[in-house]
Amino acid sequence: QVSPPVPQGYSRKAAALEFLQRLEEAKATYEEGLARDPGNEQLLQGLRGVETRLAERKLLNPFSTPDLLARLEADPRTRGLLGDPEYRRLLETLRSDPGQLGARTRSWVTVGGSGCEIWGCPSPFWGSSPQAQREKELGNAAYKRKEFPAALEHYTRAEQLDPTNMTYVTNQAAVYFETGEYERCRALCERAIEVGRENREDYRQIAK
């Protein structure tokens, strides 16, 4: 919990949110801090930075292109899926938050979608260890229940089973963010970037 009178608290929380690619939340945190301390230069710089990243994300998001539905309709591999409400909801989610691509890709592939072939997908979602994916799913379930120690244990085990997948490192970072341990969160995000680079991860996944 951020202590309201301390601008540095807002700055640290917003920085952690940025590392987790939760840019809208980071922006809101900077704005909340500036509402209490309008002249704080650190918060102003942070806000300008996150606004720039949000603008860039919109430009780089392939799901925000105006002709997206036309392209999917024209592709015989995806045409039939447009009548599926779940598929439509997935597209709308990715339009507004491309950061959900990694988390939602598996459900898309399950229903037969070919987004990975059209736009390209991070390699871990194709080659990751089934046991590691299972640990991640268990971690996600614990995370949703706010059982953070259990979630961290599962995410750590997933990384041990598949140390080349940066996703499992960022999952651990998310746990530390929720528990307010922002420095540990930041350190894990930086390590995730290194893991991605070492294993030739897709640059879009590293950017996230």
Tell me the pLDDT tens digit for each residue of 27-65: 999 999 999 999 899 999 999 989 888 876 665 566 666
- For residues 141 and 180, state if they share a domain: yes
Q: With respect to residue 2, please indicate whether it lies within any of the assigned structural domains.
A: no
- For residues 80 and 103, state if they share a domain: yes
* Residue 69 banded pLDDT, cuts 50, 70, 90: confident
CATH number at residue 15: 1.25.40.10
Q: Choose one of 119, 135, 153: the last residue of a domain.
A: 119
User: Which positions ≥6 away from 208 have C-beta within 8 Å?
Assistant: 21, 99, 102, 170
Highest mean pLDDT among 81-90, 140-149, 178-187, 190-199: 140-149
- For residues 203 and 131, state if they share a domain: yes
Which DSSP category does 84 fall into?
Answer: -
How confident is the model over 106-124, as a mean pLDDT? 39
Q: With respect to residue 154, please indicate whether it lies within any of the assigned structural domains.
A: yes
* Residue 131 banded pLDDT, cuts 50, 70, 90: confident
Q: Is the pLDDT of residue 188 over 90?
A: no
- The count of structural domains within the chain is 3
How confident is the model over 3-16, as a mean pLDDT? 77
Percentage with pLDDT > 90 across the chain: 19
Q: With respect to residue 1, please indicate whether it lies within any of the assigned structural domains.
A: no
Q: How far, in Å, are 4, 13, 77 from residue 193 at the CA level?
A: 31, 19, 33
- For residues 90 and 109, state if they share a domain: yes
- For residues 113 and 95, state if they share a domain: yes
74-85 confidence digits (pLDDT tens): 877 677 777 778
How confident is the model over 88-111, as a mean pLDDT? 58
- For residues 144 and 112, state if they share a domain: no
**What confidence score (pLDDT) does residue 83 get?**
79
**What confidence score (pLDDT) does residue 99 get?**
56
Taking Cα atoms as reference points, which of 57, 107, 163, 53 lies closest to residue 172?
Answer: 163
Q: Is the pLDDT of residue 150 over 90?
A: yes
Structural domain boundaries, residue 100: 62-119
Q: With respect to residue 112, please indicate whether it lies within any of the assigned structural domains.
A: yes
**What confidence score (pLDDT) does residue 114 get?**
36
- For residues 143 and 184, state if they share a domain: yes
Q: With respect to residue 79, please indicate whether it lies within any of the assigned structural domains.
A: yes
- For residues 56 and 87, state if they share a domain: no
How far is Cα 17 from Cα 29, in angstroms, rounded to an integer? 9
How confident is the model over 76-101, as a mean pLDDT? 72
Regarding predicted confidence, which is higher, 125 or 174? 174
- For residues 114 and 129, state if they share a domain: no
**What confidence score (pLDDT) does residue 63 get?**
67
- For residues 48 and 103, state if they share a domain: no
- For residues 70 and 82, state if they share a domain: yes
How far is Cα 103 from Cα 127, in angstroms, rounded to an integer? 15
**What confidence score (pLDDT) does residue 164 get?**
84
Global pTM?
0.45
